[in-house]
Structure formats: C-alpha cells, structure tokens
Structure 1
Amino acid sequence: MKIVMFSINPLFRDYVTGGAPKQIKNISVYLGELGHEVVILATRCVDSCVEFRWHENVLVKPILRFRQPFPQPYGIPAYDIANMIQDVATHLDGADRFYMHDGEFLFPYAYQHIPTVVALRDNVYPETILGGFLFQGDRLIAVSEYSRRFYAETMGRFFADFDERLLVVSTGIDWDIFKPTTPKEILEIVPVDPAQDAIVIHPHRPEPSKGLPQTIAVADLLVHQYGIKNLKVLVPRWLKVGLSPEVAAFYQEMETEIQSRHLTEHFIFHEWVPQSLMPQYYSLGAVTLGLGNFVESFGNAPYESLGCGTPAIVSRVSTHRELLPDHLIDKVHFGDAETAAAIAAQMIIEKRKPSPETLAYLHENYGVQSQLEGYAQAILNAKCREPLAYRHTPITAETRYKLPAWCYLWEGGIYHDFLAQHQIIPALQTLLQQYPQGFSEQQAIAQNISPAQLEGWYRDGYLIAQ
C-alpha cells in the first residue's frame, strides 16, 4: 500500500523532540518494514527542510509551512494554508490510506474520499482538540483509556456512532531499549559523577505545566530540609527549533527562582539528549520527577525511567492517575512538594529501584509490539465511511450529571485537570458520593442545590451532562 501520513510537528533524522514525533517514527518504520510505502508530510523548519528517510520505505518530506515555533501553528497567511491543502491533496492522489498524527489537519473534505485514521496525541493543544471535533475518518485512536473517556465525553456528545469509531491503542515502549544501561556517552553531555552525585531527572519540555517549578520546590526541600548536599537536578534545554522569546523568558524565570533558593550549584541545564542516549540518561538518576499539571494523553517519561531502573514520582493528573496502580508507582497530589520531597529523599537514601511487579505490569500492558500492531491493523484495515452525523441532545429536567474523566474526588475535595486546582465543594462532593453513576436536577434540588449552582458546576467543567 501507499500510505500518506501527516505531522504538524517538525521531524528530524536523528532527534526526537517529544512523544508524538517518537511514535510516528515507530509507526511509520513498522509499516515500512512490512513492505508498505510511507510518505510523511511534516512541518519544515530551519533545522529540517530537506527530505530524508527513516527507512528505505519511509520518506519524510518537511514541506508544510505551519508557523514555528508553537503555539499558533495556524497563525500563517491564508495562501500558506491553501498551499498545504494542495500539497496534502496532491500526495493523496493515488494513495491507499491517510494517517493523521495528532489530528491537526483541520480539513476533512480533503481526505473523505480515502480511508483515513486519525490519532489524537494530546488533550490540550487547540489544533488537536479541534481536529477531534472535526473528525470524519474511519478510526479515531486514543492512546490511553483516560483520553478515550475525555474524547467521548466532549467530542462524542455530538455524534451517535462516535464511540464505535473510537479506539484505544495504548502507547508502547520498547523495553529492549529502555532498560538499565551503563552511562557512557551521556556523560559527555551531562557533567555529573554517578558515583558521587544524587541525581534527579527532569526530562521535560520547557513549559511551566511540565513541572519545573514543582521540581525546583522539591529540590529546595531535598537540599535544605533533608540535607542532600550532593543533589544534582538535570534539566534538558530545548532544541534551537523550539526557542522563542516565551521559552527564553521561562528559562530566565526558572534560573532566577533557582538562584533565589540558593540552588544554582544543584541544577544542571544541559543540551537536548538524543533519543539513542535516553536509556543512559534515565539510568543516571536516583529518581525521575513528573510533577507538572500538563494534561497528558499518556506521558512516556516516568514509565521509560522505570524501565531503566530509576523510580519515578508523578502527580495525580490525567493519565498518571491510572496508567499504573497506586502500589506500583509513587503518586502525589499536584503541588504537594512536601510529600514528593519526602518520597524522593527516601528513594535517594535507600537507592531504591522499581519493584519487579512494576516492571512486569509495564511490560505486559505497554509493550511496543502491541502498539505497532494496533496501529497497523487500524490503518491497513481502514475503509471509507459516511460522515458522522451531528446530533443535538437537549438538556432537560431528566438529564443526569456526573463527574467527568478530567476530575477526581479525593479526601480533600475535587481536583480538576484543566483548572489545575484542588477545590473543596462540600455540596457537590456529597452529591457525587451519593450518586456515583449520576444525578438529576431534581435530586440536586432535593439536596438544597439551586439550578443556578448546578449549572455553574456544569459550565466550569466539574460535571458533564449525560
């Protein structure tokens, strides 16, 4: 088959800038190894403007002129958008399948004549979310059960057979690669001494929601409360393609915060780590931190770290609440630096390693082979379908309300992923505990809840209407 793929992200021959580019490389190469011809249309940038191959059957063509760097990739002249539609349409002529990575090609009329599979790779960026609401293909892939519920409870409200086209293919990790690995070449990038330093890994993009402020707060406690004076926190600097005034300002703000806490000697900002060295990088650490509030669709880093023998601490945000059971990975509420630091200190002092049960669960549930087979089956077996038919379901007195996937109840209140807030709302908490499967307006009124209060919770995203 001839398969055309779309990536709004720039792609590179040797570097991987995040989970989405990593996955499209794995998927495309797998299909290429099966003998299919794959052409990937990607965004060009100063460091990626010449076509290249990941495999003899996988050609990457960085020809799309989306705005770089993010955000607002569609902040471009209309003629650039028109030219990109033209480019995609030209490549679809004679193609057998279209695979859209991240859902960000927002023109369904351009691909409805060809069997199409769309994978949504995140739950936050507007182009991805719009791509989900505009979906008109054969299969819409979610990379976790959390993401499936999120899509079903938002986009799925308006299409009767949306759920039938929604498929979960969990992100897979190659455990033959992500395993304990002796640090060698990585030490040329990261100036640490694994025998002497207590190393904390912060392997994330330079976005506030990825948790660097929380990592700094934890490091402060580790040094000044727990007395870990040999602490070294590793933070990768973004590739040149990602630099922008906003990114530069963020780094400056974080470095000022580090200095104000007298932690400068404990933080190492280093160059971006090539994908081939990531197992060595994780293996350096005593602990990997994933303490941000970014609403991950999966979130690879903590689980890759576990595979490499370095324990991880994650915040109870989005998928991290459920990818591993609580007894197999350490979880803290977002913003709880004290608990995170106490756990991290114990890990460092005890030189703790992931349990065999944790590794067994990861290998069984998040292996790369099952992921690649899932994508291949979805793409190769795709067929053209009638467009999804829009439906409107009125909200009436009979409508039932329930807690959405992006909120969770805990002993101290309700956490909302997209507001990144823990709120104490006693009346709502009581209703949700009394009616875990959902409650009606009348049942709320019986608990002295006014219709206006109920609508406020609904509008603020604490409730969804069923």
Structure 2
Amino acid sequence: MPMLERVAVVSIAPILPGVVHGGSQRILDGVLRGLADAGAEVRVVCSWRPENDGGFELAPNINIEPLLRLSGYFPDPWEVPPYQILQSAESIAPVFEWAETVYLHADTFYLRNLIPEGRRVVRSFHDFHYETALISAFGFDADITIVPSDYLKRCIDATVGATPGRSVGPVVVVPNGIDLQTYRLRPGVTPRGVRERAESDLVLLWPHRPDPRKGIVEAIEITGELVRMMPDRNVRLLVPRHVDATSSTETREFYDNAIQLATAGGVMDCLEFTPWWSDDETAGAYSFADVTLCPGNFIESFCLVAYESLACGTPVIAARVGALRDMRIPGVYTFDWNLPGGAPIEYLPLNGALISALGNDIDTDAVRTILKEDFSFEEMQRGYLAAITGDMPGAQEPSPESTSTVRFTIAPWCMARSPWVYNDYEYGWTRRDKLAEFLTIGGHHVLGRRAGGRCFTLEVAMEFGVTPEQVKQGLKDGVIIRV
C-alpha cells in the first residue's frame, strides 16, 4: 500500500472535544485514527464553534483546525455572510497546499478551486437527499467516491451516473464499521441521567439526532400504543437531547414539539429526556433498553443506530425506508411506513413488529458474529485507507451496458406493495395499480439484474397489462428508471 504522509480532511460539521454529534462523526473518528495509525499526519479542517476555538489534538498526528466560518448547522451550513466564506477560503488554502491527498468527509465542500492541481481528492457521501450533498454529487468530481451501502451506490449510479455529460467516477462501497469493543452488552448499567429500572419497566430508546423524519412522532405513537396494549407495564421512552439544544433555536423547538405531542397523546409521563451520551454511554443505553426505535421515514443510507443496538443485544423496530430495506440481520423487525389500506396483509404492520420485537430474544453472539464478518470496524478503516491511498482494487468507473434494447427497473429508492409504490424521496406512497402489481409480483418476467432490481422491457410490461402511458408516468415520477 502506498505510504501517506500528509492528508487534509474536510468536515463541514464541527468537531468538538470529547463529543460525537452522530453516526457520520463516529465514522470520521474511526477513519482519522486509521490514517494516523498508518503513519499519516492528518490535519482536519472543520467549522468553528466556541467549544472548539483554537483547535485541538484529537489524537497523536490528528490536529483539528476549526478554520471554516460556516454555520455548522445542517442542512444550511453555507448560509452565512459571504465575507465569512472568503475568510474560510483564505484560512484553508495553505492546508491544501501542504497536503498530498484531500479527503472530503460527507462531502458538501464547494471551494474545490482551492485544491491545487494534481492532488488526489477522495470523498464520501453519507446521505443523498440534502441539497448540499446533491450539489456536490452533481457538480463536482473526485478521484473516488466512498459510500456506506449498496443502496446509496445504486441511487448515485442511477442519477449522477446517468446525467448527460457527467462522469460520476468510481463509486465504491465501504460499509460502516461497528466498534464491537465499545458496542457490547453491558448488563446492570444505568445510563447517565436516567433513573434505574423497575421490574415493571418497558424501556424504549429513540437515540437519534433531532430531525422529525427520524420518527419522533412515530416513537411517541408507539409509546401510546404500548401503554394501551400493556397496562401492567411502565412504558418509558428515552430521548437523548442533542448537544445543539443549547445553541440552536431550531433544535430546542424540536424537543418542545416532542413535549407537546407527548402531552396531546397522554404519554408525557413516559417521555424522558436524557443527556447526549458518549459512545460508551450510548452502548450502556442500548443495553438498558428493551427495544430501539428507528420508525421514521428519513432516508437512511446505512442506519448505524440499528447495527449498534443489535451489537448490544437489543432488538430494533425500523421502517422499511432507504438502506433499512436491505437489512437482513436477526433482531431487526421492519414495517412498511404508514402503508395505506388495501395492501396485502402479509406485510408486517407496526403492531406486528412491536409484538415480534418484544416477544423474541436476540442470539447476541450470532448477531455479533455477523457484524464482525460483514461490518468490521477494522475492515472499514482499511477500506477507507485503501481508497484514500489509491490502493483499492476494482475501483474503476462503471462502463455502460451495450444493448439496443431499452430496459427498465424499479428505482432503487422505491418499493412496490400492490397497488401502492413507496418513494423514499416523496416520503410516502402513491397508487400505481397495474404498474405496482407488475413491480410487486412480476418477478417471473426477469431479463437480468442490475442495480438491485429486476430489468424488464416495455413489451414484457405490456404483456402483464401495464400501459405505455403508465410506464411513461412511472419514469417521470421516478418510480422506474432506464437501465
């Protein structure tokens, strides 16, 4: 593997001493330490906050430099006075001059002209729906792009990769790694800021950052449902309060709204806010809980929460959205988010997922074996290191298939449940009747597989009863795509 000496890393999100904001920041921390362990000197440029003023050393050979005068708040980190962008550019240009390689973490960095010609540029995406990420993906190139899941790769290939005149470049999947030393069963631990368990307690955990699409409404509704289903149990809903609650009005409003929802639902006594925990404390919270909730319609590109919870022996209830549709690990009980009436009854509803999660114990050892084999933290570090050094085998740009036949497939961001189709980017269902029926049960009309979906021609769809107009409308609405 080629040796790296000087790596500049850009994180638009602020990095604070002793605090990890969320899943993407945990991955970044692992990547930085992997680079330093491989002998690189790492300078990390991030957004300024009073808490990180002056910078700090994260670990030996990893220096955090808060030189970006951006807001640090998503989804609008660049919404600042233009002179602050100028000041940021002037401050970070010398860092890029110093570096041999530039890594853009969760890439939303637009000042690409500051990177000198000839520097290797590697980026990662951890979402593909915020405006900032979409602009970076469609507007800028990189030597290689890292994504955490096949789902996210399929979405990028089907959109950026199909854009006329655009070359997406190599897109490689490096699954997020689960730190099994940190995330493990911790019996008898009571998390910081939480009262001890009583024998009748039924503890639900909603450990997400404050985005309504992460499912706080659904979590409160689930709490109310369990209160009615199990009157002899003391249902508790634990919600960590994000570190931004002290500095962001929008974040404070999120938790105020949660209080209003819980009050209106008659479960305010069940809602318990906790501190924003460290990784070790979060592992204890997973172990403390009976079920971890991931019930929203946020477009998850991986969902670290679900994997971490399983590593600690706690089952997960999750909506089938984004990459969670591909999750096939025992202990995850999924349901179709807000599925309209009239869909086939074999699809597990929310109540069924609840009953299954509460009535089945996880074989934690077996689950941890799966996580170690498929989602190793060390393998993730090695994967990022190989991509950043240019030593990743098979990282070539995909070549288009040569065929004269026009073929289609269901879009990677969609799921069919006849007569409905769910679209991640619409955050809901639309009725598609015959097209939805074909996409749901037309699996015997397979002409080959690409991008995770079955391919079909217009003629095959018409044989099933789908009209050309329905195919045309499906293309327009993003339900199906051309292969």
TM-score, with length taken from structure 1? 0.89
Partner of residue 153, structure 1: 158
1:456 matched residue in structure 2: 473
Distance, in Å, in 1 between the alignment partners of 2:465 and 2:306 is: 44
- The whole-number CA distance in structure 2 between the counterparts of 1:218 and 1:399 is 45
For 2:379, give the aligned amino acid.
S
Residue aligning to 2:387: 378
Give the conservation status (yes or no) of the 8 Å contact 2:160–2:166: no
- Tell me what 1:23 maps to: 27
1:427 lines up with 2:434 in the alignment? yes
Find out whether 1:74 has 2:78 as its counterpart. yes
Distance in structure 2 (CA, Å) of the matches to 1:92 and 1:382:
21
Asked if structure 1 preserves the Cα contact closer than 8 Å seen for 2:141 and 2:168, the reply is: no
1:429-448 aligned at under 5 Å gives the runs: 429-432=436-439, 433=442, 435-436=445-446, 437-441=454-458
Distance change >3 Å, CA 372–CA 125, structure 1 → 2: same
Map 1:126-165 onto structure 2 (within 5 A).
126-158=131-163, 162=167, 165=170
Q: Where in structure 1 do 4 or more consecutive aligned residues deviate above 6 Å?
A: 445-448
Q: Which residue of 2 aligns with 1:177?
A: 182
**Are positions 1:368 and 2:377 aligned together?**
yes
For each residue in 1:47-80, what CA deviation from the matched residue of structure 2 results, as whole angstroms up to 9, or x when unmatched? 3223011111000011201124323111122232
Unpaired stretches in structure 2, ≥5 consecutive residues: 341-347, 447-453
User: Secondary structure at the residue paired with 1:47?
Assistant: helix
- 1 CA distance for matches of 2:245 and 2:235? 30
Partners of 2:127 and 2:205 in 1: CA distance: 23
Cα distance change of structure 1 residues 336 and 308 upon mapping to structure 2, 3 Å threshold: farther
Q: Name which of structure 1's ranges 353-362 and 215-224 shifts more when overlaid on structure 2.
A: 353-362
Residues 181 and 256 (structure 1 numbering): CA distance in 2 closer, same or farther, change over 3 Å? same
Residue of structure 2 aligned with 1:405, choices 412, 418, 421: 412
Establish whether residue 332 from structure 1 lines up as the match of residue 339 from structure 2. no
Match 1:122 to one of 119, 127, 134: 127
CA distance in 2, matches of 1:412, 1:248: 40
Alpha-carbon separation, structure 2, partners of 1:399 and 1:319: 27
TM-score after normalising by structure 2: 0.86
| 3-state SS of 2:293 partner | strand
Query: In the TM superposition, what are the counterparts of 1:210-221 in structure 2 within 5 Å?
Result: 210-221=214-225
The worse-fitting range, judged by mean Cα deviation, of 154-163 and 137-146 is 154-163
Give the count of matched residue pairs. 456
Output the CA distance in 2 between the equivalents of 1:73 and 1:229.
44
Contact 2:236–2:270 under 8 Å retained in 1: yes
1:273-292 superposed matches below 5 A? 273-292=277-296
Q: Which moved more, 1:426-435 or 1:310-319?
A: 426-435
Q: Answer whether contact 1:200 1:286 (CA < 8 A) is retained.
A: yes
Q: Deviations over 1:287-339 (max 9, x none)?
A: 111111111111101110111111111111111111325x5521111136994
**Contact 1:441-1:451 within 8 A present in 2 as well:** yes
Change (3 A) 1:272 1:328: closer
* Contact persistence 2:143–2:169 (CA under 8 A): no
TM-aligned CA deviation for residue 17 of structure 1: 0.9
Q: Equivalents in 1 of 2:169, 2:264: separation in Å?
A: 53
Residues 345 and 400 (structure 1), Cα distance of their counterparts in 2 relative to 1, 3 Å cut: closer
Q: 2:63 aligns with which of 59, 79, 84?
A: 59
Contact 1:226 1:345 in 2 (8 A): no
C-alpha displacement of 1:106: 1.8
- 1:161 & 1:106 partners in 2: Cα distance? 17
> What RMSD in Å do the two structures reach over aligned CA positions?
3.0
Which residue matches 1:418? 425
- State the SS of the aligned residue for 1:12: coil
Shift of 1:191: 2.1
Q: Distance in 2 between matches of 1:9 and 1:242?
A: 17
SS in 2 for 1:250: helix
Relative distance call for 1:355 and 1:317 in structure 2 (3 A) is: same
Partners of 2:75 and 2:246 in 1: CA distance: 10
